[in-house]
A = this chain, B = another copy of it.
Amino acid sequence: MNRNYIIPDAWSIIEDKFEADHVKSSESLFSIGNGAMGQRANFEEDYSGPSFQGSYIGGVYYPDKTRVGWWKNGYPEYFAKVLNAPNFIGIHIKINDEVFDLHQCKEVNNFRRELNMKEGWHKRTFISKLQNDIEIKVEALRFLSLDHEELGAIQYQITPLNSDAKIEYTPYIDSGIKNQDTNWDDKFWETTDVDIDDEQAFIESHTLKTEYKVCTFMQSQFLIDDEIVKLSVQSEKEDLKASLSYSKEIKKDQTFTIHKFAGYTTSLNHQENELTSAAKNVLSKAVDLGFEELLSKQKQAWAEIWRMSDITIEGDVEAQQGIRFNIFQLNQTYSGKDARLNIGPKGFTGEKYGGSTYWDTEAYCLPFYMATKNQQVAKNLLIYRYRHLEKAIENAEKLGFKNGAALYPMVTMNGEESHNEWEITFEEIHRNGAIAYAIFNYHRYTGDYSYIPEMGMEVLIAIAKFWQQRASFSTHKNKYVILGVTGPNEYENNVNNNFYTNYVAQWCINYMLENLNILKLDYFDDYQRIIEKTKLTSEEISEMRKVAAEMYFPYSEEHQVYLQQDGFLDKEMIKVDDLDPNQRPINQYWSWDRILRSPYIKQADTLQGFYFFEDHFSREELERHFDFYEPFTVHESSLSPCVHSIQAASLDRMEQAYEFYLRTSRLDLDDYNKEVEEGCHITSMAGTWMSIVEGFGGMRIKNGNLHFSPKIPQQWNSYSFKVNFRGKVLTVNVEQNKVDFKLDGAPKMNVFVNGEKRQILDKA
C-alpha cells in the first residue's frame, strides 16, 4: 500500500518527497499520454537510480515469438506487444562539468511533483546541491500535446542559487532502447538513419517484422530569464543517438531555460518516405507557436475534455482525486479518434499485458466512452472488432471450429491471438459474449441501429456459430453443456458449465436470432448480403435454437442460486473473512492448485452475469446471489470492486458500495496490489466511472430512456456527473436528499428517477 503517499488534491496528483524507492511507482502514477502516444514519468535528466524507462506509440507493436515451457497445440506463434519506443524526452545536463543526476546529488530539497489533471501537464520542482556544492533550483514541466498528437514539449529551467555556474544542456533523442518484457531478447528496432540538420535532429528507425517506420525528432530553444537567446551548438551523432549541446555561463539567480520540442512521426499516419518532412512540419509549428502558446492550447484542450467527462464529488477529496485520476488516465490512453487503436490494460504506463486489447474494452470501457464522448468514439471501438472478424474466424479454425465460427482472441493487437496459457487462451471463451454484448449495449445506449446491419450482424452470426459448435449435448443431463472453460473468475480453470459462460452463450444466440429477424423484415438487402457472406444455413439456425433452448445451468435448490460451475458446492466453503489475513492476497501466498480447489473468486463471475443482464433477474435473486458469492470473493482482479460497488449500491448497501468505490478509484494511487510500479490499471478505471454513474447514480437505459435511482454515500455532500445521451448532455447533481438535472444543448428530455418520469428542460 502506498496510502498517504500521494497528497490529496481535487485536481492534481502530488508527491512532495524525493524517495528513490518511490521513483518507479511515481513513474507509473505520473504518466502522461495523449491517446496517440504516452510516457512513463521518467526524468528528463540522467538518473542512475532504479527506474523503469517507458515511451510508447499507440499501434506500434512487435510480434514477439511465443516462449512457453511446454507447448500445446493451438498456441499462437507470437505475442504482439506495444514496444518501448525511442526516447525523446532526454536532456543530459552538466553543472560546472558535473553530470546532474538526482541520485548522485548531495541534497535534494523542496521536491514536489505534480500531475495537473485539469490542464494536462507534469511538473517537478526541487532544489538540489551537487557534489561540487553548486545549489540549483529546477523546474521541469512537460506535456504531450492533445492538439498536435505527434508532439511533446518540455520546459526545463535551472537557476543557480549560491554561485554563478556553467550550465550545459544536451537534449538528445535515442533509439537505443529495449523492452523489459521480451521473450527471446530479440532486437525489436532497427535504426536506419541518424541525422542532424542545424539544430534539428532526426532518427529514423523501424520495428523489425512489423516494419512500422518511426521518425523521432527534436529541436530546442533557450531563454535566460525571459529572454530568448541564441546559443552556439555542438552536435554529436552516434549509431542510435543524436545529441545537441548548448552551454552557457549563468549568473547566480539567473534562470536558464530550455524548451525542447520533440516527438514521433510514424508510417501509421504518413507515407514512409515523408516522415522526416512531416517531422519538420511539426517542429516548425511548435517553434512558431512557442512553448507558452502550446501549453495554453493544452489547457484548453483538457478543459474541453473535462467539460464533458468531469465528475465532481463534494466533501471527500480523496474520492474526488480518485475519480479524476481515473477519468484523466482513460482520456490519456484512448481518444477514440482512430479505430485502429484500443485500450491496453496498462495503457501507456507500462509494458505488462503488452499494450494489447482484452475483453476489458467491451465489458468495462465502452460505457465510459459512450457517455463522455461523441457516438463515433464508441462506434470506433466496435469497428475495431469488426475489422478483426476474419482473424477471429481463423483463430476458431485453429481450434477446430468451422463454417465461419469466430472466437475473438483473449489478447490481441491485430486480431490474432497473442495469449498462451491454455486455460485462458483456449478456455476463457466468454470473451466472445462481451463482444456481442457491446453491440447490444451500443445500440441500447445510442439508439443507433445502423451498426448492426452494416457490420455488427456478421460479428453476431460468427459468435453464435461458435457457441452452437462449442456446446455439446450431454445424454446424461439431456441438456446442452459447455465443458472445459474458464469463466471471468480466473481462479477456476477447465470447469464445466460455468453459469456465466452458458448464460452469455444462450443470450448471444438469442440476440443474434432476434436481430436476424429484424434484418429480414427491415433491412432485407443487408440480410441477403449477410446470409450469403456468412453462409448461415437454416440447419445451423435450428441447431442454434436447440442449443439456446436446452442450455444447462447448474443450480442449487438448497441455496436457490445458480452455481458458478458444476461441483462448486463440493469445495470447502470457508468465507473470505475467515481466512488468515496473512495469506492475502491469496495469489501471492498460495500455490495455483490450492487457489483452484478453493471457492475463492477473483472477480465477479456469476455476478458479472447479473451485472450484464440485471433486468433478467429480480432484485431478490440479485440479493441472494450477491449474498452467496460476495463472501467468497477476494477481489484480486482490478475489475472486481466496480461491479460489486454497483450491485451493492443497487441493493442499498451504501457502506459496502462506498468501500468498493474507494478500492476501485484509488487502486493505483494507494497501490493496493503493491505493483503500481509496473504501470496503472487503466481498463479498470472505466469501472470506477461506472461505480459512480451506474452505481451511486443508478443510471440505466430502458426503452431508449435514461433512468436514475440516485444514492449518495454518507461521506459525501454531493456529486455530479454528465452523460452525453443521444446528442443531449445531461448533468446530474446528487446531494444528500436531493437530485438535480441540467440539460445542455437540447430543448427537453425525459428521464426517470426511481421509476418516476421527469421532464428536464434545457437550461437555455
Residues of A within 8 A of B (CB): 66-70, 72-74, 398-400, 420-423, 426-427, 472-477, 481, 483-484, 493-496, 566-567, 569-573, 587-597
Q: Complex Cα distance A701/B588, Å?
A: 49
CB of A73 within 8 A of CB of B590, answer: yes
Question: Which single member of B67, B475, B484 contacts A573 (CB below 8 Å)?
Answer: B475
Question: Which single member of B472, B567, B571, B595 contacts A571 (CB below 8 Å)?
Answer: B472
A399 in contact with B591 given A69-B66, A569-B474 (CB within 8 Å): yes
Is chain A's interface secondary structure helix, strand, loop, or mixed overall?
Answer: loop
Cβ–Cβ < 8 Å partners of A590 in chain B? 73, 400
CB of B74 within 8 A of CB of A592, answer: yes
Q: Complex Cα distance A381/B422, Å?
A: 35
CB of A591 within 8 A of CB of B73, answer: yes
Cβ–Cβ < 8 Å partners of A423 in chain B? 423, 494
Cβ–Cβ < 8 Å partners of A567 in chain B? 483, 496, 566-567
Most buried by B among A73, A493, A587: A73
Question: Which single member of B67, B422, B592, B595 contacts A592 (CB below 8 Å)?
Answer: B422
A570 in contact with B481 given A74-B591, A426-B592 (CB within 8 Å): yes
Q: Complex Cα distance A422/B68, Å?
A: 13
Question: Which single member of B74, B496, B572, B573 contacts A570 (CB below 8 Å)?
Answer: B496
CB of B72 within 8 A of CB of A69, answer: no
Question: Which single member of B421, B426, B571 contacts A483 (CB below 8 Å)?
Answer: B571
CB of A570 within 8 A of CB of B476, answer: yes
CB of A69 within 8 A of CB of B420, answer: yes
Closest to A493 in B: B494
Cβ–Cβ < 8 Å partners of A495 in chain B? 494
Closest to A572 in B: B472
CB of A400 within 8 A of CB of B594, answer: yes
Question: Which single member of B421, B481, B587 contacts A70 (CB below 8 Å)?
Answer: B421
CB of A570 within 8 A of CB of B73, answer: no
Cβ–Cβ < 8 Å partners of A70 in chain B? 420-421
Closest to A479 in B: B570
Closest to A586 in B: B73
CB of A484 within 8 A of CB of B596, answer: yes
Q: Complex Cα distance A587/B422, Å?
A: 14
Question: Which single member of B69, B399, B422, B493 contacts A67 (CB below 8 Å)?
Answer: B69
CB of B594 within 8 A of CB of A399, answer: yes
Q: Complex Cα distance A69/B474, Å?
A: 35
Q: Complex Cα distance A590/B401, Å?
A: 11
Question: Which single member of B475, B484, B569, B591 contacts A400 (CB below 8 Å)?
Answer: B591
